[in-house]
């Protein structure tokens, strides 16, 4: 008997009609003989509404009280889905984070799951009852509600799937799978039958916002097989699995997908002294402010013994970054602080890269042929990213999608 954790996002739960559709999907999965547990998000828009309440109550809200407020959204949908399932004759009940329990650390509003007690769920499976569990939340050691940060319901689902050793964790969302790139930009983008955890991590973190990054990391660590599929359509989605589980015999491209991320900001410090320790002096204050620096370029030293240093930070951290650097101008010794948010990071991702040379050079020449200037470069074992002018985003994505042979056959 297959054991499946099904997770439904906010658009899937937006309103009672959709809750009923979700219940019907759960009923059908159970009718196929599966043991089912369900993880739900809040209704679309509800978490935003609750977060806004907290901000209005105080911009410096206590994250422990914020958690009490925002966790209510999933509490509501859990109860409603249990009611809708019962109305279809499916035994069901809600299990809140503190009832299971789902234990977290006490980093409120951004908590990490420390453990999921599987005993209740095992009993539910044994009795044929569907457990409906609010995503995004658990309870800390002090017995207070803790939420996992936005998008945390994916992580809840994967953690629960790991705890009950589920055969699969199906993440139902408003897209029907993971594509080779954004189909709004490249109509001939193809849905992938499978990607590896590593690829998904790179795709998620560079802007293909299908799964929360942390949930993919957890799935990889716990070896949970994740499927991304649509709440609204039929058919299978994209499996996210270990590299060893990729089907043999299926010809894989060197590159699995092309992603882009416009939420980067470029910062340049001019005329930094070209001496040991100077660069460390730049990044220490940013690290202290918990700002993640991504792409870094250090220019060749000028004749004057100084150099320019360029790097990117998340656009949401730009103001804090400029503040931290401004306060340290004297210590760092730079001349000017220049920034630009009209940039985009475009990445090609694929495990096939490990065994194929020339991936980066294909990228650079394809972009150069269209006159797209590269502002910065970053690479990992399975990814090459370039920073470009934001205006060229769509062009770059299309060029690379074609260059790596990802375009679907014309219909």
Q: How many CB atoms lie within 10 A of CB 288?
A: 10
The DSSP-derived string for 62-128 is -HHHHHHHHTHHHHHHHHHHHHHHHHTT--EEE--TTTTTEEE-S-TTS--EEEE--HHHHHHHHHT
Q: Are strands 194-196 and 226-230 parallel, antiparallel or unpaired?
A: unpaired
Residue 392 in marked binding region: no
Q: Which residues pair with 132 in a beta bridge?
A: 38, 94
Residue 209 in marked binding region: yes
Residue 210 in marked binding region: yes
The answer to whether residue 147 forms part of the interface with a copy of itself (CB under 8 A) is no
Shortest Cβ 319–a copy of itself spacing (Å): 23
Shortest Cβ 77–a copy of itself spacing (Å): 9
**How many degrees, rounded to 5, is the angle at CA 96 between CA 48 and CA 136?**
40
Choose between 99 and 236: whose C-beta lies nearer to a copy of itself. Answer: 99
Residue 179 in marked binding region: yes
Choose between 99 and 230: whose C-beta lies nearer to a copy of itself. Answer: 99
The answer to whether residue 276 forms part of the interface with a copy of itself (CB under 8 A) is no
CA distance 134 to 262: 31
Binding mask 115-144 for a copy of itself (x = CB under 8 A): ----------------------------xx
Residue 8 in marked binding region: yes
Q: Kindly list the strands in the beta sheet with 343-349, ordered across the sheet, starting from the edge strand earlier in the chain.
A: 257-261, 343-349, 383-389, 376-380
Q: Which residues pair with 265 in a beta bridge?
A: 313
Residue with tokens 């599929």: 229
Shortest Cβ 69–a copy of itself spacing (Å): 4
Measured in whole angstroms, how far is the alpha carbon of residue 348 from the centre of its chain?
17
Map the footprint of a copy of itself across residues 50-109, applying CB under 8 A: 50, 53-54, 56-58, 60-62, 64-69, 71-73, 75-76, 78-80, 82-84, 86-87, 93-94, 96, 98-99
Shortest Cβ 115–a copy of itself spacing (Å): 18
Choose between 19 and 200: whose C-beta lies nearer to a copy of itself. Answer: 19
Residue 283 in marked binding region: no
* Among positions 3, 20, 193, 262, the unique one binding a copy of itself when judged by CB under 8 A: 20
Residue 186 in marked binding region: no
The answer to whether residue 13 forms part of the interface with a copy of itself (CB under 8 A) is no
Q: Which stretch binds a copy of itself (CB under 8 A): 48-56, 224-232, 329-337, 340-348?
A: 48-56
Choose between 67 and 176: whose C-beta lies nearer to a copy of itself. Answer: 67
Shortest Cβ 290–a copy of itself spacing (Å): 23
Residues in contact with a copy of itself, total (CB under 8 A)? 39
CA distance 233 to 215: 23
56 CB contacts (<8 Å, ≥6 apart)? Answer: none
Q: Which of 355, 335, 348, 337 has the alpha carbon at shortest distance from 384?
A: 348
The answer to whether residue 238 forms part of the interface with a copy of itself (CB under 8 A) is no
Q: Which of 148, 130, 257, 245 has the alpha carbon at shortest distance from 204?
A: 257
CA torsion 167→14→233→189, rounded to 10°? -90
**How many degrees, rounded to 5, is the angle at CA 252 between CA 249 and CA 254?**
145
Residue 182 in marked binding region: no
Shortest Cβ 124–a copy of itself spacing (Å): 14
In terms of residues, how long is the chain? 411
The answer to whether residue 26 forms part of the interface with a copy of itself (CB under 8 A) is no
Shortest Cβ 133–a copy of itself spacing (Å): 12
User: Which residues participate in the annotated binding site for substrate?
Assistant: 47, 74
Residues of this chain that interact with a copy of itself (CB under 8 A) are: 16, 19-20, 50, 53-54, 56-58, 60-62, 64-69, 71-73, 75-76, 78-80, 82-84, 86-87, 93-94, 96, 98-99, 143-145
């Amino acid at each position: 008997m297959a054991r499946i954790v099904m997770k439904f996002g906010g658009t899937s739960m937006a309103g009672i009609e959709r809750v009923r559709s979700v219940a019907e999907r759960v009923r059908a999965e159970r009718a196929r003989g599966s043991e089912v547990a369900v993880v739900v998000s809040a209704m679309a828009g509800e978490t935003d509404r609750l977060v806004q309440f907290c901000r209005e109550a105080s911009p410096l809200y206590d994250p422990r009280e914020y958690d009490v407020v925002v966790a209510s959204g999933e509490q509501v949908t859990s109860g409603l889905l249990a009611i809708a399932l019962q109305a279809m004759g499916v035994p069901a009940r809600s299990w809140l984070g503190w009832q299971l329990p789902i234990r977290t650390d006490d980093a409120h509003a951004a908590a990490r799951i420390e453990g999921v007690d599987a005993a209740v769920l095992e009993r539910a499976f044994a009795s044929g009852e569907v457990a409906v569990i609010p995503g995004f939340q658990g309870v800390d050691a002090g017995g207070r509600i803790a939420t996992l940060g936005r998008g945390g319901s994916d992580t809840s689902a994967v953690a629960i799937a790991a705890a009950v050793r589920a055969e699969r964790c199906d993440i139902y969302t408003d897209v029907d799978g993971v594509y080779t790139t954004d189909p709004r930009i490249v109509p001939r983008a193809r849905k992938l039958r499978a990607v590896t955890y590593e690829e998904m991590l790179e795709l998620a973190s560079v802007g293909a916002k299908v799964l929360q990054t942390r949930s993919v990391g957890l799935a990889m660590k716990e070896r949970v097989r994740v499927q991304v599929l649509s709440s609204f359509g039929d058919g299978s989605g994209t499996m996210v699995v270990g590299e060893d589980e990729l089907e043999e015999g299926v010809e894989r491209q060197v590159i699995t997908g092309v992603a882009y991320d416009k939420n980067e900001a470029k910062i340049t410090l001019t005329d930094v002294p070209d001496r040991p320790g100077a660069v460390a002096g730049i990044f220490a204050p940013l690290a202290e402010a918990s700002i993640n620096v991504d792409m870094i370029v250090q220019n060749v030293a000028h004749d004057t013994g100084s150099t320019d240093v360029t790097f990117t930070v998340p656009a949401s951290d730009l103001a804090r970054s400029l503040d931290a650097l401004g306060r340290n101008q004297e210590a760092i010794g730079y001349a000017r602080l220049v920034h630009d948010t009209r940039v985009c990071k475009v990445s090609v991702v694929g495990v096939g890269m490990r065994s194929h040379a020339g991936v980066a050079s294909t990228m650079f020449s394809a972009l150069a042929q269209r006159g797209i200037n590269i502002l910065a470069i970053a690479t990992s074992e399975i990814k090459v990213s370039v920073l470009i002018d934001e205006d060229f985003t769509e062009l770059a994505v299309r060029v690379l999608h074609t260059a790596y042979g990802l375009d679907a056959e014309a219909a």
